[in-house]
Amino acid sequence: MQHASLRAANRRAVLTTITFSPGISNAEVSRRTGLAPQTASAIVTELEDDGLITRGDVLRGRRGQPATPLYLDYAGAYGIGCEISWRHIDITLINLGSEDLGRYRRDFAYPDATSIVAEAAEAIAGLIARLSPAQQQRVAGIGLATPSNLGSLIGNVDAPADQLQAWRELDLRTGLEAATGLATTWFNDGNCACFAEMVMSPPPRPANLVHLFVSTYLGAGITAEHTLWEGPTGNSANLGSMLVNGHDGHRSFGHDIASTTAPGRRLAAAGIALPVGNPSDWPWADWEAHIGPWVEASGSALAEIIVNTGAVLEIDHAIIDSTAPQLLEEWLRSGAVATAQDPLQSCDGTDDDLDGCAARRPVPAAARRLPSAPRAALAVAERLRPSRHCDATAARRALCTCRASPARCFT
């Protein structure tokens, strides 16, 4: 490894350690990263000079030399998380500590390729304008999260025919970067949501995780040994394209069963049109007679996807999340557990029951309270590319979007 790359890797390791262990000392940073004390101390000084970390008051009265706690400097960098999905655009400005400093959201029937870049750029400019001139110089970039096939499958949300050609001609990432002048990195939205769950979970964080997000389609992500599994195209965890058994006796894609599009078809058959807007605000209680069969079918499909994925990857945890209200999300999880009696039903959820298949019980999402952009565009602060020391590969991998550990640039 070249010296510059090694140095960047060491910086990432140190900043990541401080991010996940606020108040840690120099000596403990050295121990956890495996770096020599002199090397760790020098890197800490560099990060402090770059404005990325700050020191607390010296702690005295303990064994050994007095220790100085180290913390992230939340004002050290800022990032934009931009999620453009089938039914909404959601943009968030955050600092290095993942605090929300401003947000823009609009729901729509479909994303319009002729205006979406201009809308996003205008919203981003408005959010950045809230910062002081000095703070604006520390905006690291944009993390763009979208479904992988947003443009090519735009017809699935009943967009006008001319939208397909418009999306074919649009390079969303390049267009947004040109319109804002900010470095923009694209990520699959399911991967971003999965990464958010990993870093927002309290320690000890799950090492091997499958994350399923029930939305317009079934988003998904996988982490293996604390590493997001993106694959060569960023779409490796497309678990919604797994064939599962439907209650009608036919095999279908997970997308066609465990998604909010599926109850939309049931409602349409009953003469009820899905409203435009956030699914969490839809009158689900009024539709109980229509969505009951969907919840049951979705639980079975989600369970089958989890069991099959676990057979291949030895996952420790499965998380089922949704844009629907929390109660409906709990029904989906309960349905998945009830269906997959072996092995999921054997889990009791205790700390002593986390080995083998039992640990794959679907559990609530740690980031359930986060807005969409910080969750699905969850790495900009992570990827934050906080300094010039990030090499190109690190910058590519780190900027997932808006809310995960701000140190992913250094991991």
Tens-place pLDDT, residues 177-201? 999 999 999 999 999 888 878 777 7
Beta bridge partners of 72: 53
Cα distance between the two ends of the chain: 16
H or E, element range at 328? helix 326-339
Handedness of CA 187, 191, 196, 198 (dihedral sign): negative
**What span, in angstroms and rounded, lies between the C-alpha atoms of 38 and 44?**
10
How confident is residue 368, by pLDDT bands cut at 50, 70 and 90? very low
Nearest to 213 by CA among 240, 186, 234: 240
Res 71 pLDDT > 80 = yes
CA 46 to centroid of chain Cα atoms: 29
Q: Which of 92-106, 214-228, 350-364, 381-395 has the lowest mean pLDDT?
A: 381-395
pTM (2 decimals)? Answer: 0.78
The reported pLDDT for the residue numbered 96 is 86
Handedness of CA 156, 278, 261, 339 (dihedral sign): positive
How confident is residue 372, by pLDDT bands cut at 50, 70 and 90? very low
Burial readout 330-348 (b: 16 or more C-beta within 10 A, e: otherwise)? ebbbebbbebbeebbeebe
User: In this prediction, what percent of the chain has a pLDDT beyond 70?
Assistant: 79
**What span, in angstroms and rounded, lies between the C-alpha atoms of 98 and 402?**
7
Domains in the chain (CATH in brackets) are 3-72 (1.10.10.10), 76-192+370-410 (3.30.420.40), 203-363 (3.30.420.40)
Tens-place pLDDT, residues 381-408? 333 322 222 222 222 223 333 333 333 3
